[in-house]
Structure 1
Amino acid sequence: MVNVIPLVITINHKFGSGGAYLGQRIAERLNMMYIDHQIIDVTARKLNISSEEVIAGDEKPTSFWHSLLQYFAYIDTNTYAALDSKPVTNHQIFNAEAEAMLEFYKGKSAVILGRGSSYILADHPRHVSIFLYADSAYRASRIQEINNISEQESLKLVKSTDKMRDLYIREMTGHELEDACQYNLSLDTGILGLDETEKIILEYIHLRFGEM
Structure 2
Amino acid sequence: MNFFKLSSIAFAAAFLSAGAVSAATITASNGGTVIASPLNVGEDNPTNSSIQAFNEGVDVLLLADLGVDGGTPISAGTRVDSHMIFLNTRGRTDVTDTATFTFSEMILGIMSSQAGTNLFASDGIVNGPVTYTGGNYGDNRGLEGSDTADFINVVGGMFSVNVGMHVTEPGDWVRVITASSVSPVPVPAGMLLLPTGLIALGAMRRRKKRKTA
TM-score (norm 2): 0.24
Q: Quick check: which one's strand share is greater?
A: 2
Higher Rg of the two aligned structures? 2
Q: Quick check: which one's helix share is greater?
A: 1
Greater length-normalized contact order (CA 8 Å, ≥ 6 residues apart): 1
